[in-house]
């Protein structure tokens, strides 16, 4: 009898948007499970300390940080090349960088629509395409794996988040399509759709303190935490998920009775 293989030992992973929140938790969890992690954000001042703290911790994985804006193709290419160079190849990519602002659909300008769709969907498109150069080795059994970060907003309508919901829904379909296109390369591609998770980004979006986020949760019992999304990501990139591809995993707790979704950040 074998125990399930959740180890990430010997794995080299890229995690985008890892200076805080869910991305930081994913980087820390992966390093604790044995992976080397290359992490980025738009600011080395913000992402550098996350790498330092991983490297100072008593965990088997090492961390490498670089500045990279996922809206810029040149940045993405340079970051992936530096990460592959640092660790001697890449096996795992988590496209986590994302964000939004809330506004009624009628008030979203061309620039606002473009900003949110380009960060979330455009960033995922760019990073998946560049990731393919490293993960599609052409050798049977040697493909890597990608996890894209969607949202319950990509599965259910949420008022005042039309741009974000449209981008996240498209990420789910992009994931399904890539899983089919790259199956012959042994590249698994999956998606996570979190409900409301307590992060600095959510506090910023709502203009409230992080400690006040739980009051906005419409889940039955409690809000979610970044580490709980990180654990799901760790499973999806591990050998234990070897037959899982093209899927979207929702992590949203249990909605309160009468709520079909738990992610209405609507303008009150
Ligand atoms: N928290 C939730 O409730 C929730 C729910 C569903 C889905 N999600 C998704 O989960 C992901 C992480 O969410 P979060 O709440 O942890 O977000 P967060 O706290 O706002 O953190 C976002 C991270 O992305 C980085 N980032 C932003 N723009 C970037 C860019 N253009 N290029 C590179 N990095 C960039 C930020 O770093 P810098 O500012 O240093 O660049 C930061 O590290 C996002 O895709 C989000 O849409 C979150």
pLDDT tens readout for residues 98-157: 999 999 999 999 999 999 999 999 999 999 999 999 999 777 666 899 999 999 999 999
Q: Beta 12-16 vs 92-95: how paired, if at all?
A: parallel
CA of 186 to the centre of ligand 1 (A): 28
Distance of CA 240 to the CA centre of its chain: 19
pLDDT tens readout for residues 23-34: 999 999 999 999
CA of 34 to the centre of ligand 1 (A): 24
Query: Which amino acid residue places its CA nearest to atom 32 of ligand 1?
Result: 69
Q: Give the whole-angstrom CA distance, residue 61 versus residue 40.
A: 16
Q: What is the pLDDT of residue 255?
A: 77
pLDDT tens readout for residues 173-207: 999 999 999 999 999 999 999 999 999 999 999 89
Using most ligand atoms within 8 A of CB, pick from 40, 70, 97, 101 the residue to mutate for ligand 1.
97
Q: Percentage of the chain with pLDDT > 70?
A: 95
Query: Which amino acid residue places its CA nearest to atom 2 of ligand 1?
Result: 197
Give the pLDDT mean for 249-268.
68
| Burial tier of 207 (Cβ tally within 10 Å: 0-12, 13-18, 19+) | exposed
Nearest to 160 by CA among 220, 123, 116: 116
Indicate if the pLDDT at residue 262 is higher than 60: no
Indicate if the pLDDT at residue 8 is higher than 60: yes
Q: Catalytic residue numbers?
A: 164
Could you tell me where the beta strands, DSSP code E, fall in 151-235? 188-194
Using most ligand atoms within 8 A of CB, pick from 15, 17, 250 the residue to mutate for ligand 1.
17
End-to-end CA distance of the chain: 54
Spell out a b/e string for 3-36, using b for 16 or more CB atoms within 10 Å of the CB, else e. eeeeebeebbbbbbbbbbbbbbbbbbbbbbbbbb
Q: What is the pTM of this model?
A: 0.96
| Burial tier of 98 (Cβ tally within 10 Å: 0-12, 13-18, 19+) | buried
Q: Give the whole-angstrom CA distance, residue 173 versus residue 97.
A: 18
CA of 201 to the centre of ligand 1 (A): 6
Mean pLDDT, all residues of the chain: 94
Task: Among 1.10.3720.10, 3.40.640.10, 3.40.50.720, 3.40.50.1820, name the CATH number for the domain at 12-251.
Answer: 3.40.50.720
């Amino acid at each position: 009898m074998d125990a399930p293989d959740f180890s990430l030992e010997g794995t080299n992973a890229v995690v985008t948007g890892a200076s805080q929140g869910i991305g930081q938790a994913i980087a820390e969890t992966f390093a604790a499970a044995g992976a080397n992690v290359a992490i980025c954000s738009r600011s080395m001042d913000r992402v550098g300390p996350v790498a330092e703290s991983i490297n100072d911790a008593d965990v088997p994985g090492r961390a490498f940080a670089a500045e990279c804006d996922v809206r810029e193709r040149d940045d993405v290419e340079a970051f992936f090349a530096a990460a592959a160079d640092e660790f001697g190849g890449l096996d795992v990519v988590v496209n986590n960088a994302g964000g939004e602002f809330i506004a009624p659909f009628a008030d979203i300008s061309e620039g606002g629509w473009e900003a949110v769709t380009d960060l979330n969907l455009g960033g995922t498109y760019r990073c998946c395409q560049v990731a393919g150069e490293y993960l599609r080795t052409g050798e049977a059994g040697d493909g890597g794996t990608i996890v894209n970060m969607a949202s319950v907003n990509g599965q259910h309508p949420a008022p005042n988040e039309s741009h974000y919901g449209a981008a996240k829904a498209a990420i789910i379909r992009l994931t399904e399509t890539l899983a089919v296109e790259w199956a012959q390369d042994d590249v698994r591609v999956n998606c996570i759709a979190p409900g409301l998770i307590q992060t600095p980004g959510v506090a910023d979006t709502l203009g409230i303190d992080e400690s006040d986020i739980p009051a906005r949760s419409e889940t039955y019992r409690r809000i979610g935490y970044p580490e709980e999304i990180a654990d799901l990501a760790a499973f999806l990139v591990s050998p234990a998920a070897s037959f899982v591809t093209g899927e979207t995993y929702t992590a949203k707790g249990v909605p309160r009775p009468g709520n079909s979704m738990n992610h209405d950040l609507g303008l009150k």
